Amino acid sequence: MEEKNNLIGKAVNRIDGVLKITGKATYATDYPAKDMAYAVLFKSTIASGTITDIDTTKTQESQGVLAVITHKNAPRLNVKGGLRGGALLQGPEVYFYGQHIGIVVAETFEQATHAAHLIKVEYHKKEEKIDFEKLAPSAGMPQGKELADLFRGDAKASLEEAAVKIVETYETPIEHHHPMEPHSTVAVWEGENVILYNGSQIINGAQASAAATLNLKPEQVRIISPFIGGGFGSKGGQWANLVLTAVAAKMVSRPVKLALTRQQMFNSVGLRQRNKQKISLGATKDGKLISLAHETTTHTAIDGEYIEPCGDCSKIMYETPNSLISYRVVPMNIILPTYTRGPGKSTGSFALESAMDELAYKLDIDPIEFRLKNQPERDPSNGKPWSSRKVIDCLREGAKAFGWEKRNATPGKNRIGNNLIGYGVACGSYPARQRDSSAVIKLTRNGNLVTATVEIAASDLGTGTNTILAQTAADGLGISMEHITVKIGDSNLPPAAGSVGSVGAASFANAVNDACTKITDELLVKSNKKFFVRPTASQLMISEHINSFDTRADAKAPMEAEQYSAHSFNANFAEVHVNIHTGMIKVTRFLAVTGAGKILNPKTARSQIIGGNIWGIGMALSEESIIDPRWGNFATRSFGDYHVPTNFDIGKLDAMFIKEDDKIPNKMGIKGIGEVGIVGVAAAVANAVFNATGKRVRSLPITPDKLL
């Protein structure tokens, strides 16, 4: 790789920063279209049953209404086309409260909203399955083979023999993604083809599922999504709203805009499921783990299965000869759960790392020392060597930077005024992978100025994908960043993986980097010269008087990556203040130390990590959605009830990266940081709360009432 510019690894400002703060970045609803009509979804008010009648007379007569679409007049769609969560208006059945049951299209958004209020729906109600507490004992084996029981040794017998043990159940509630930009789509038909402006984490995935659902060929659907206002997994797989916008546009023969309201976001685009996780840990007297069982009970939808893999961290974090990872699941009348930042790892690490803290207390060992004592040499789940694993450095350097030595291990002893102060630590991990992606580079010369366009159907969740690709191309081509145009977020561009599962940076940047190398190689061949020092693509364009030159690279993960276990790892440190009267908690300091391979841009990387930390703090202290078991609706239905952290909840945040040079997972040594930032956070906070107060709260969120 050419490193003439040396921009990779530099804290470069976002190339789209100005566009964003001046409001010029075009999100889905910002696309203008002539004659736009506005669609509003209406939703079921039962959780299970069938619609016996929908009276839309008043709605149809209401001012401005262009169409009312229900299962009675909706076109037949392919329900197996790959969209998540059903709700495609294909029949009268209702599977969950808040399922879309129709669309009103009108001249204005206000008219459509008003008209939707006039609809009268009659149902035949069936008994709903909604009370998780009651249903959990009947949970059964998952259908998915990848979540079958995983045994190593005999976890039960070894637990019996363990000198010191804990067996506890940890609960996490339903959480929502709630990206700043609610899911929204503008659909514009051009003959038999449709353009969908829609925030999509996987551009080609959105294209494929929309096309299949609409019974079209992929090339008839174009997804345009240059900017995404966050997604956190909810814009990974696409939901009914994407295709229903296209349906509405077809039916009124006009472009249609459909944006979910914040309230509709609660039951339209998946959620993080509720989990009960039983952790059994056994250790020898001197603190060697000999048994680890992580048994998760959870729910899924009636008409589909998704289970977040809560046991994933428990598979790899600690050395133990005996382990059991299992899942039991019960279908409920609730929207399909889905990938939610750090799926399984964020919630699973809360259980595992709380239990590790509990056991450290029982053993009377410092929780950091306890973790250090149980580090595995190889991946315990498959025996593969680590590509790299910097947990020990994360813990040691983090402890130093955080001032861990100031922690008083005895709860309740560190007090200032009416506040008890506590320190907590917890670790986390997330897999590192590269997925197939292609990139095209187009070079143009004008005199001595060479400019480049990078094309790839990548997506930018707001994390800085655009910027790191510009940095990569600048270094790879020897062209300064301002002369590079990055084109992403369009299914007409070369196909790419998605911004999901922390594969984005590794997949996109390696594709661009490969294309840079390839174009330089091709220019060298074309020059038919030999150089002592390999010239850059830019220098070759100039020296050889080439006016334009293109190439495409199709990048894949290295073959040998398979033989290793590759993950990002972290250690999280939290300091909390807990008011003795009110039980209110403030996270005054939080430090995440991460070993995640090559950090392409420390500035955008830090933002991602602290963003994950903030959600983790919300998960620990305030975020929870509650279902009313009588109806199956969410009793928490707005940001007034569903409490995401505010600025005032967040104290000083720090992100440190451990240097890691690991070219095994991919050529550029990128491991990905999108998910790992939330993993281990809730446990670090909960452990700090215990250290402050002596109260072990095993059910998130830790609201003031739980500390009384």
- Where in 648-707 is the site for another protein (CB under 8 A)? 648-649, 701, 703-705
- Where in 224-263 is the site for another protein (CB under 8 A)? 263
Number of CB atoms found within 10 A of residue 240's CB: 25
Which amino acid, 678? I
Alpha-carbon gap, residue 339 to 334, rounded angstroms: 15
Residue 646 sits in the site that holds another protein (CB under 8 A): yes
Strand partners, 84: 239
Binding residues for another protein, total number by CB under 8 A: 39
Of 484 and 576, which CB lies nearer to another protein in the complex structure?
Answer: 576
Q: Where are the alpha helices (DSSP H) in 91-149?
A: 109-117, 132-135
Angle between helix 681-693 and helix 602-621 axes, rounded to 10 deg: 50
**161 flagged as catalytic:** no
- Of 182-190, 245-253, 375-383, 627-635, the window that binds another protein (rule: CB under 8 A) is 627-635
**Which among 330, 294, 351, 302 is positioned nearest to 134, based on CA atoms?**
330
Residue 110 sits in the site that holds another protein (CB under 8 A): yes
- Residue of 393, 544, 628, 654 interacting with another protein (CB under 8 A): 628
Task: Give the strand pairing for 484-487 and 633-634.
Answer: unpaired
Alpha-carbon gap, residue 665 to 642, rounded angstroms: 39
Of 301 and 621, which CB lies nearer to another protein in the complex structure?
Answer: 621
- Of 362-370, 536-544, 546-554, 638-646, the window that binds another protein (rule: CB under 8 A) is 638-646
Residue 637 sits in the site that holds another protein (CB under 8 A): yes
Which amino acid, 575? E
**Which among 378, 320, 308, 291 is positioned nearest to 346, based on CA atoms?**
308
Q: Closest distance between another protein and the C-beta of residue 705, in Å?
A: 4
For residue 182, with 0-12 CB atoms within 10 Å meaning exposed, 13-18 middle and 19 or more buried, which class applies?
buried
Which one is catalytic: 2, 128, 660, 675? 675
Alpha-carbon gap, residue 30 to 27, rounded angstroms: 5
- Residue of 643, 663, 695, 696 interacting with another protein (CB under 8 A): 643
- Of 14-22, 532-540, 619-627, 667-675, the window that binds another protein (rule: CB under 8 A) is 619-627
- Residue of 13, 52, 63, 193 interacting with another protein (CB under 8 A): 63
Of 104 and 247, which CB lies nearer to another protein in the complex structure?
Answer: 104
- Residue of 553, 621, 673, 682 interacting with another protein (CB under 8 A): 621
- Residue of 412, 583, 602, 694 interacting with another protein (CB under 8 A): 583
Of 297 and 636, which CB lies nearer to another protein in the complex structure?
Answer: 636
Alpha-carbon gap, residue 614 to 63, rounded angstroms: 45
Of 18 and 635, which CB lies nearer to another protein in the complex structure?
Answer: 635
- Residue of 622, 666, 687, 691 interacting with another protein (CB under 8 A): 622
Residue 524 sits in the site that holds another protein (CB under 8 A): no
Residue 417 sits in the site that holds another protein (CB under 8 A): yes
What 3-state class would DSSP assign to 174?
A: strand
Q: Which two tokens stand for residue 183?
A: 């899911």
Q: Which two tokens stand for residue 448?
A: 């001595």
Residue 471 sits in the site that holds another protein (CB under 8 A): no
Q: Tell me 696's DSSP state.
A: -
Of 167 and 635, which CB lies nearer to another protein in the complex structure?
Answer: 635
Preceding amide of 218 cis, omega within 30 = no
Of 45 and 444, which CB lies nearer to another protein in the complex structure?
Answer: 45
- Of 469-477, 481-489, 535-543, 626-634, the window that binds another protein (rule: CB under 8 A) is 626-634
Alpha-carbon gap, residue 319 to 696, rounded angstroms: 25
Of 42 and 690, which CB lies nearer to another protein in the complex structure?
Answer: 42
Of 43 and 389, which CB lies nearer to another protein in the complex structure?
Answer: 43
Instruction: Kindly list the distances between the CA atom of residue 570 and the CA atoms of 168, 211, 671, in Å, as whole numbers in the listed order.
Output: 24, 40, 12
For residue 236, with 0-12 CB atoms within 10 Å meaning exposed, 13-18 middle and 19 or more buried, which class applies?
buried
Q: Closest distance between another protein and the C-beta of residue 638, in Å?
A: 7
- Residue of 31, 151, 189, 631 interacting with another protein (CB under 8 A): 631
Q: How far apart are the first and last CA of the chain?
A: 59
Q: Closest distance between another protein and the C-beta of residue 182, in Å?
A: 14
- Residue of 418, 543, 547, 563 interacting with another protein (CB under 8 A): 418
Q: Closest distance between another protein and the C-beta of residue 45, in Å?
A: 4
- Residue of 517, 594, 633, 687 interacting with another protein (CB under 8 A): 633
Of 354 and 622, which CB lies nearer to another protein in the complex structure?
Answer: 622
- Of 361-369, 449-457, 474-482, 580-588, the window that binds another protein (rule: CB under 8 A) is 580-588
Of 416 and 525, which CB lies nearer to another protein in the complex structure?
Answer: 416
- Of 111-119, 351-359, 495-503, 608-616, the window that binds another protein (rule: CB under 8 A) is 111-119
- Where in 24-43 is the site for another protein (CB under 8 A)? none
Q: Closest distance between another protein and the C-beta of residue 648, in Å?
A: 4
Query: Where are the extended beta strands (E) located within 460-564?
Result: 484-487, 548-555
Provide φ and ψ at 554, rounded to 5°. -110, 105
- Of 1-9, 225-233, 448-456, 644-652, the window that binds another protein (rule: CB under 8 A) is 644-652
Query: Taken in order 620, 621, 624, 629, is the CA torsion positive or negative?
Result: positive
Provide φ and ψ at 568, rounded to 5°. -85, 145
Residue 55 sits in the site that holds another protein (CB under 8 A): no
String marking each residue 262-301 x if it binds another protein according to CB under 8 A: -x--------------------------------------
219 Cβ contact partners less than 8 Å away, ≥ 6 residues apart: none
Alpha-carbon gap, residue 320 to 259, rounded angstroms: 49
Q: Closest distance between another protein and the C-beta of residue 114, in Å?
A: 6
Q: Closest distance between another protein and the C-beta of residue 231, in Å?
A: 23
Alpha-carbon gap, residue 176 to 234, rounded angstroms: 9
Residue 563 sits in the site that holds another protein (CB under 8 A): no
Alpha-carbon gap, residue 164 to 54, rounded angstroms: 62
Provide φ and ψ at 177, rounded to 5°. -75, -45
User: Nearest 5 degrees, angle CA 378-CA 384-CA 388?
Assistant: 60
Length of the chain: 708
- Residue of 584, 694, 695, 696 interacting with another protein (CB under 8 A): 584
Instruction: Kindly list the distances between the CA atom of residue 600 and the CA atoms of 211, 437, 472, in Å, as whole numbers in the listed order.
Output: 35, 18, 8
Q: Closest distance between another protein and the C-beta of residue 576, in Å?
A: 12
Q: Closest distance between another protein and the C-beta of residue 703, in Å?
A: 5
Q: Tell me 444's DSSP state.
A: E
Query: Taken in order 539, 543, 548, 550, is the CA torsion positive or negative?
Result: negative
Of 110 and 377, which CB lies nearer to another protein in the complex structure?
Answer: 110
570 Cβ contact partners less than 8 Å away, ≥ 6 residues apart: 394, 427, 428, 429, 592, 593, 594, 595, 596, 676, 677, 679, 680
Instruction: Kindly list the distances between the CA atom of residue 655 and the CA atoms of 591, 597, 658, in Å, as whole numbers in the listed order.
Output: 6, 15, 10
Of 40 and 203, which CB lies nearer to another protein in the complex structure?
Answer: 40
- Residue of 49, 344, 645, 672 interacting with another protein (CB under 8 A): 645
Residue 610 sits in the site that holds another protein (CB under 8 A): no
Residues 243, 89: contact at Cβ < 8 Å? no
Which residue ranges make up the site for another protein (CB under 8 A)? 45, 63, 110, 113-114, 117, 263, 417-418, 579, 581-584, 586, 621-622, 626, 628, 630-631, 633, 635-638, 640-641, 643, 645-649, 701, 703-705, 708
Q: What residues are labeled active site?
A: 675
